Amino acid sequence: MKYVRMPIEIESPEEQGYDTIRFNLSESSMRDRKLSDLGLGFDDLLLMYGVHRGAPGLRALIAKQANVAEADVLTTAGAAGALFIIATTLLDKGDHLVVVRPNYATNIETPRAIGCDIAYVDLKFEEGFRLDIDRLEALIRTNTKLISVTTPHNPTGVALKEAHLKRLIAVAEKRGVHLLVDETYREMSFVPKLPVAASLSPHAISVASMSKSYGIPGIRVGWIVNRDPKLMERFLAAKEQIGICGSIVDEHIAEAALKQSAGWLGSVERTNREALATVEAWLGKEPRLEWVRPEGGCVCFPRIKAGAGIDTDRFYRALQTDHATAVGPGHWFEQDRRFMRIGFGWPLPAELSGGLAAISASLDGARR
């Protein structure tokens, strides 16, 4: 494995220091919650090794939501841990995979660290960031091991339609390839929510976590769902070699949060829709930017128009230095820096409005 730190991690607010940021529009989750919000009293929790596949109560809740059996669920250290287990289990140096770009960085970086042969399906702004399944299929070779997609997508917020997901599954089945569907944003959707991909076929591997819609990324709880018992055994072997089991404390908190999911997700949806409306209203009055309206998640990926006469480097300098405002610049996603990811779910309303105004002011100051 050739590990290289990713810009999105090096430049993340937790690494830079939250106290250096006034308006934080760089997050990709909903607002973080306090432990006390969950009303847990767990002084008596025995801090033993946990069940290796994950706490049975937690797995039962995940399985119910996913419409699969408990045996089809393996908990992991966040969705990031799930993606790492899947990549290192399925892929060896030189193996071929097809992956969507841009993407949550790990979906690309771990296969790269393994030394895989990667074919990219590039999403294009001009095509509304739509995944072209014909183009994807044309990249599959006889030795392709994995297709990797994310929906709702980070950083664009674009979501697959159910017919497209089913077509991808049919392609994976026909070509005998595993299909990884990163569904970390599944619970946050402005369009009808898709079924969990893994519930539709043993070829599909679904990944999600407690980090984004539940706003508790500080507990590192995610999961893999898959209906192929032999494959799940290999994923379990990887988990055991990395860390034996999950954290008892984290899984206890995750279970409590999932039990409260109905009320919590309802309020998340209301907050998220209001925040999206704020961004949409601002963009309506900001002629130097263009965007594709997101269909899910809590981020969008607008860009500075090519003819807007803006010096991109000066823009980012002003944003950071004069306005202490953080967004996710395009290079976090291997894209032109004219793109920026704006996270609208995490900031409170005043912070969101302040941050959007700071972007406009920085554009004013960066005219060529």
Residues that bind ligand PLP (CB under 6 A): 28, 78-80, 104, 150, 154, 182, 184, 209, 211, 217, 222
Nearest to 21 by CA among 323, 312, 299: 323
Could you tell me which residues are beta bridge partners of residue 10? Answer: none
**Based on CB atoms, which residue is closest to ligand PLP, 30 or 80?**
80
Shortest approach of ligand PLP to residue 21 CB, angstroms? 17
Q: How far is the CB of 151 from ligand PLP (least distance, A)?
A: 9
Residue 184 C-beta: closest distance to ligand PLP, Å: 4
DSSP character string of 247-306 = -HHHHHHHHHHHHTHHHHHHHHHHHHHHHHHHHHHHHHT-TTEE----SBSSEE--EE-G
Shortest separation between residue 314's beta carbon and ligand PLP, angstroms? 28
What is the rounded distance in angstroms from the CA atom of residue 179 to the CA atom of residue 181?
6
Written as six digits, the tokens of 125 are 């702004």
CB closer to ligand PLP, 153 vs 323: 153
Q: How far apart are CA 235 and CA 217, in angstroms?
A: 22
Q: Which is nearer to ligand PLP, 315 or 346 (CB)?
A: 346
Answer for the pair 306, 126: CB distance below 8 angstroms, yes or no.
no
Q: Output 88 or 154, the one with its CB closest to ligand PLP.
A: 154
The residue (of 100 and 319) whose beta carbon lies closer to ligand PLP is 100
What is d(CA 313, CA 318) in angstroms, rounded to the nearest whole number? 9
Nearest residue to ligand PLP, scored by beta-carbon proximity: 78
Nearest distance in Å: CB 209, ligand PLP: 3
Do residues 84 and 280 touch, judged by C-beta distance below 8 A? no
